[in-house]
Amino acid sequence: MIPLSWPVVAKVIALRLCETSIKSTESTADLFAEIVAMSSAMGWAADSVLVRFGLRKSNIFAAMFVSYAVSISCMWTYLVATTSLEFLKSPAMIYYLISGCIQPLFARALFYEGITRIGVARAGPLRGGEPLFATAIAISIFDEQPGWLVFLGTILIVVSLWLISGKQQGDTKWRLIDTIFPISAGLISAISQSLRKQALKIIPDPFVAVAVVTTVSFILLLGFMVTTKRTHQLRMPREGFMFYFCAALIATLAQVANFIALGRGQLSVIIPLLNTTPLFTIFFSAVFLRNVETVNLRIVLGAALMVAGVVLITSR
C-alpha cells in the first residue's frame, strides 16, 4: 500500500469539494429553470381563460393581433433601449425565423380555434400532449436518453388525452374531430421549441427570442388578413379588447419565462413542465368559466393523469 502525503490528500479533498459544488450549482440551476417553466405554464392558462372571455365578443384573429402587438411593443422597446442590435446578424436568427413562421402564429391559431370549438377545459389539456412529441424529438435529434419513468409518464399522458377528448352521453356541442386543433398546436409547438433550443445555444437572450419570433408571426398574420380580406375582423368592442390586452400582457411574460426555462434546462424536462398548463387551466375554468363551460369528472381525471405523467417524466 502506498502512503498518501498530506498534499495529495488535500488535493483529492479539494477536487471532491469542487465536484460537489458544481453538482450543487447545476442542481440549483435546474430547479430555477423548472420553477420558471411552471410559472410560464400558469401564465398560459390565465391567457387562455381571458381569451375565452374575449371570444364571446370577438374572434381569434383579433385576439392574436392584440397579443402580438403588445408583445412586440414591449420587447422591442426594451431591446432598443438596452441592447445592441448586432444580434440581428447572428446565425440564431435563422432558427428564430423558422420558429416564428410556425409558432406562435399557427400554434396559437389552432389552439384558439380549439378553444372556440371545444372550450378551454378540453383544449388546454389536449394541447398539453406536446411532451409526447417533445420526447420523440429529444431522443431522435438531441440524443437525450430518458429512462423508463419518461415512457411511463408518456403512457399516462396518452390515456389522459383519451379521457379528455372522449365525448360523454348528452354532449353534442362539439365533434371528436375538433380535438385535432389543440393536438396539432402541441405538435407544432414541440417542433418550434426544438428550433428555439438550438437558437438559445447561440444567443441565450429570452427577450431577443420573444421579439424576433413574435414579429415574424405578426407579419405573417397581417399578410394573411390583408390577402384574404379579413381586416374587418380586427374590429372589436372595448370589453373584448380589454380581455385581449390583459391576456397579451400575461402571454408576453409567460413567453419570456418559456425561453428562460428552455435555455437553462433540458428539452425533455422543460417541455413537460411547460405543459402543466392543463392543471391551471382546469382550475381557472372551474373558478372563472363555470357559466361558460362545464368541467366534469372525466376532464378533471384526464388532467390529473396528464399532470401525473408530467411529474414522472421530470422525476426521471
Task: Indicate whether 261 pLDDT > 80.
Answer: yes
Q: Is the pTM of this model over 0.75?
A: no
Q: How many CA atoms lie within 13 A of 73 on its CB side?
A: 9
Neighbours of 42 (CB within 10 A): 19
What mean pLDDT is reported for the chain? 77
| DSSP assignments along 200-246, one per residue | HHH---HHHHHHHHHHHHHHHHHHHHHHTT-GGGG---HHHHHHHHH
pLDDT tens track for 205-252? 889 988 998 899 899 889 888 988 888 888 888 888 899 999 999 999
- Say what percent of the chain tops pLDDT 70: 77
User: Would you state the pLDDT for residue 11?
Assistant: 39
**Which one of 203-207, 276-280, 296-300 scores highest in mean pLDDT?**
203-207
pLDDT tens track for 72-115: 999 999 999 988 888 888 898 999 888 888 876 788 778 878 88
Of the pLDDT bands very low, low, confident and very high (cuts 50, 70, 90), residue 10 is very low
Q: Does 30 score more than 50 pLDDT?
A: yes
